[in-house]
Amino acid sequence: MAKRFTDTNKWSEDWFLDLPINYKLFWIYICDNCDHAGIYKINKRLFEFTTGTDIVVDEFLTLINKDKERVRVLDNGRWYLASFIKFQYGSRLTNSKVHQSILKILQDNSVQDVLECSESKVKKEVKNRPKNIQESIQYFIEKGSSKALGEKFFYYYESQGWKVGKNPMKNWKMAASGWISRETKNSPSNSGYLNDQLKEMGL
């Protein structure tokens, strides 16, 4: 069974307090039973059978969305919990496997506004760092450098959280080009100089 965060503040908020008891229970039920992208395939019969309570779907949607959008009914009939992704994962999705699977689910369900916002943030992050060590190595080799330097570059900035000093890196390829340029400048036997610099960095 999936584990996820739950909003304990709802017990003191007017919108939740104003719900009838069966709708309070239904809200908790769909928050627990939606998928990891906040998409819920409604099964009224199963909820009523499991809990021994009855609900009127249209009435529930009217009450739950009374002061703000909490549940969006999608074109395919499924429901999207509007604040689920931000609450569970924060304001930014990354290019991790889990987050990529969320984007795929949003795409499959045509949740376009959230999808566009999330994809733009992912693209920005990809620019700020390579997707993986292979991309770093490939870039160094394409620029006439070496696999070893590409690996050292990746591991160094990975250990620094992809920051330059205290600031997030803006463009990893520009930083990599700087490493390559310094390597070229301090060659032929400049490898000794570069290795000394890397040793000082603890690599």
Instruction: Quote the pLDDT of residue 170.
Output: 85
Of 131, 35, 48, 100, residue with least CA distance to 74: 35
Please write the tens of the pLDDT for every residue from 185-195.
766 555 555 56
Residue pair 193/183 in contact by the 8 Å Cβ criterion: no
- Please tell me whether the peptide bond between 188 and the residue prior to it is cis, using omega within 30 degrees of 0: yes
Burial 64-81 (b: 16+ CB within 10 A, else e): beeeeebbbeeeeebbbb
pLDDT (tens digit per residue) in 42-80: 999 999 999 999 999 999 999 999 999 999 999 999 999
| pLDDT per position as a tens digit, 85-125 | 989 988 777 777 888 888 889 889 988 766 555 555 555 55
Specify the pLDDT at position 192: 55
Measured CA to CA, the distance from residue 69 to residue 49 in angstroms comes to 27
- Whole-model pTM? 0.59
Q: Would you say residue 176 has pLDDT above 70? A: yes
What type of residue sits at position 52? G
